[in-house]
Amino acid sequence: MRIPSAAPTRLGDDEAAAVRAAVERVIADGPWILGPEVESFEADFAAYTGLPHAVGVGNGTDALAVAMSALGLAPGAGVLVAADEGGYAATAARLVGLVPVVMDVARSGVVDVATASAAHRPGVEAVVVTHLHGDAVPLAELDAWRRRHGLALVEDCAQAHGLRIGGRHVGTTGDAATFSFYPTKNLGAVGDAGLVGFSDTSVAERARALRQYGWTDERFRPDLPSGRNTRLDPLQAAVLSARLPHLDARNLRRRELARRWRDALAGSAVLWGDPETTVAHHAVAVTDDRDGLAAHLSARGIDTAVHYPHLVGEMPGLSAEGAPTPVAASLARRILSVPCFPELTDDEADRVGAALQDWTPRG
Ligand SMILES: *Cc1c(COP(=O)(O)O)cnc(C)c1O
């Protein structure tokens, strides 16, 4: 049997019964739009992360779009996005009439104050930082920098549920935090789902209106521009409430797998991220012989993936602005995601570990 690079439908025995019960409950009791299941997941997730306000939406891309609209940026304003963020923040910016401006990344693979400063230009009103692969950007420094420049800060936490830095959850530093619960994420739904968190009460209220046609006080009357329909589905909310209590344990399992891969690759490739804090959404090997490693693993029945093969500045549909991003371009040719999900069996983990251990890069 091949080992897949992700396996979201492999629910662990500990979670499967609770997930099925949650779905049955919503079907039997309703309501099927918004209502107590959505409110209770929002409250649970806010309590878990320490976010003052949580607004459930349809997916992680809409979470970014709703966040940007709710923050009230000027039409046509620039939004700084990382060149290697996968295109999600840039897509959301375009959806709400904003202009993505790409930042290169540091050699660590994430943006920092130097790369953000280099990309900053007149007309930019916000910066989106993406906590990529389960690791945080240098948040304290970036937060101080953006405050000096009067920029809004959106933290894209779609790959970093449960990630804490100095005891504090990512997402609680910026003006908005966005989450996707796409099935492969660290906290996954059984379909599309997302959430956006805020510290400011009135911004959160705007987001609540924006996710439902822009209605504020009255039904059937959009009051805000950029309203849309992107409510969190109560079926998904109930599933997420059932799975949230397992998130920390599942993240520990991811971190433990990433540690094994790091040790197994020592001397032949670097593994992305901080071994102490990572929630290892992806386990990304960085090597000049990426294609060699992919072929070696594939020959041993192990699937891999590249997150992400394309830079935001090269995505035809987004027409992002900004200077070339050579560091991100070089990294995009050297990264390979190795299977790293909590439901990997012990046998599969042994196979992946052994295969990584007996790989030697060419050249
Ligand atoms: C998955 C992901 C998104 C988009 O989430 P969807 O729910 O698929 O819309 C946004 N940002 C990042 C970093 C992601 O990994």
Q: What is the pLDDT of residues 63-98, one digit of tens each?
A: 999 999 999 999 999 999 999 999 999 999 999 999
Question: Candidates 110, 159, 163, 184: which one to mutate for ligand 1, based on the most atoms within 8 Å of Cβ?
Answer: 159
Tokens of 242: 């059932």
d(CA 198, CA 176): 5
pLDDT for res 13: 87
Q: What is the mean pLDDT of the chain?
A: 97
Q: Is 102 helix (H, G, I), strand (E, B) or coil?
A: strand
Report the relative pairing of strands 164-165 and 99-103 from DSSP bridges.
Answer: unpaired
Among residues 28, 278, 249, the alpha carbon closest in space to that of 164 is found at 278
Q: Whose CA is nearest to atom 13 of ligand 1?
A: 158
Q: Whose CA is nearest to atom 6 of ligand 1?
A: 60
pLDDT for res 14: 85
88 CA distance to ligand 1 middle (Å): 6
Among residues 122, 124, 84, the alpha carbon closest in space to that of 103 is found at 84
Question: Candidates 180, 306, 308: which one to mutate for ligand 1, based on the most atoms within 8 Å of Cβ?
Answer: 180
Q: Is the CB of 88 under 6 A from ligand 1?
A: yes
Residue range 36-52, pLDDT digits in tens? 999 999 999 999 999 99
Q: Are both 13-245 and 247-357 of the same fold? A: no
CATH of domain 13-245: 3.40.640.10
Domain spans, the chain: 13-245, 247-357
- If you search the block for the tokens 């007309």, which residue do you land on? 123
Residue range 134-183, pLDDT digits in tens? 999 999 999 999 999 999 999 999 999 999 999 999 999 999 999 999 99
Half-sphere exposure of 63 (CA within 13 A, CB side): 30
pLDDT for res 363: 75
Residues 6+ apart with CB under 8 A from 202: none
pLDDT at 271 over 90: yes
- If you search the block for the tokens 């690791």, which residue do you land on? 135
d(CA 210, CA 173): 23
Supply the DSSP string of 214-274, one letter for each residue. TBSSSTT-B-STT--B-BPPHHHHHHHHHHGGGHHHHHHHHHHHHHHHHHHHTTT-EEPS-
Question: Candidates 64, 88, 312: which one to mutate for ligand 1, based on the most atoms within 8 Å of Cβ?
Answer: 88
* Average pLDDT, integer, range 115-139: 98
pLDDT for res 91: 98
Tokens of 293: 């490693």
Q: Is the CB of 87 under 6 A from ligand 1?
A: no
Superfamily in which the 247-357 domain is placed by CATH? Aspartate Aminotransferase, domain 1 (3.90.1150.10)
Q: Is the CB of 59 under 6 A from ligand 1?
A: yes
Q: Is the CB of 337 under 6 A from ligand 1?
A: no
64 CA distance to ligand 1 middle (Å): 9
